[in-house]
Amino acid sequence: MPTTLDILTSPALSGVTHGFFTRKGGASSGIFAGLNCGHGSSDQTEAVALNRARVATAMGVAPAALVGVHQIHSADVLLVEELPAAPVRADALVTKRPGIVLSVLTADCQPVLFADRAAGVVGAAHAGWRGSRDGVLEATLDAMEALGAARARISAVIGPCISQRAYEVGHDFMETFLSDDPQAARFFAAGPAGKPLFDLPGYGLSRLRAAGVGQAEWTRHCTYSDPERFYSFRRTTHAGEADYGRLISAIRL
C-alpha cells in the first residue's frame, strides 16, 4: 500500500503549514480506498486512525494534536485554546496556539482554511450550502478577530469541493437563496435536465469577499469530477454505493 500523500497547498497561505489532503496514500480499502479520515464513516476504525496519524505526521504533530469537530452544518465556531477531550459540535475552529492542527472533513462541501500571519491566528471551516448561507464563514472571521486578527489581513482559501457543473439542485433550493438576495441568481445556471446548477465555491468566495477578507480564492478542484483524487457524497449517491470517505483539510501555526 503506497503511503505517499497527495497534499494540495495554496500560495495564498504561504508561510503557514496547511494542506488540502486528497484520498491518495491512505490505508483504507474498498469504497473507502485511500486516505479516509472520517470516523463517522463505516470504514474500519483502525484504518481511519492510521490515515489520521499519517496526516498528523505530514503536519508535523502527534495524532492527538490533530483537532476536529463533530460537524453539524451550522455556523458554530470552536475556539481551540487547548486540546479538547472529545469532539465539540461545531463547523469551524480557530486558534492562536502554535502546534495545534485545526481540521475539517468534507466530501463535496467546501473546506476553507484561514490565516492572518501577522496576528498568528488560523482558522478552518466546513462550509456546505447550509452553513455558508447561515454565516459560518463570517462567524469564523469574527472569531479570528476576537483573537487579534484583522480581516483585511486574512487570507481564506476554499479547497476541493463540488463545482457548479456537477451540482444540480431543485428550483425550491434556488428560490431559498433568491429570497435572501435576488442577486444570488448569479450563482445559478440552467442545467441540461432543466434544473438549476449551483455554484457553491462562487457563493463562498462572494460571502468571503463581502465580509472584507484580504484575499479569497478557490483551488478550483472539483470533488465530484475526479474520483481518483477525491471522495464525493453526490458521486457515491449516484453510484448507489453504501458509504463514502471523507477528505481532510488542515492548518496550523
Domain residue spans of the chain: 7-163+199-252
Whole-model pTM above 0.75? yes
The amino acid sitting at 225 is S
Whether 93 contacts 147, CB under 8 Å: no
End-to-end CA distance of the chain: 31
Strand partners, 126: 111
Note the pLDDT tens digit of each residue in 200-252.
Answer: 999 999 999 999 999 999 999 999 999 999 999 999 999 999 999 999 999 99
Of 135, 19, 37, residue with least CA distance to 87: 37
pLDDT of residue 87: 87
Report DSSP state, residue 217.
E
User: From residue 38, how far is each of 43, 71, 108, 248 by CA, in Å?
Assistant: 8, 11, 14, 8
| Sign of the Cα pseudo-torsion (70, 71, 75, 79, in order) | positive
> What CATH architecture applies to the domain 7-163+199-252?
4-Layer Sandwich (3.60)
Rounded to the nearest angstrom, the gap between the alpha carbon of residue 125 and the centroid of all alpha carbons in its chain is 6
Predicted local confidence at residue 3, as pLDDT: 64
Amino acid at 132: S
Q: What is the reported pLDDT for 143?
A: 98
CB 222: neighbour CB atoms within 10 A? 20
Report d(CA 133, CA 130) in Å as an integer. 5
Parallel/antiparallel/unpaired status of strands 101-106 and 66-67:
parallel
How far is it, in rounded angstroms, from Cα 22 to Cα 244?
Answer: 14
- The list of the chain residues with pLDDT below 50 reads 1-2
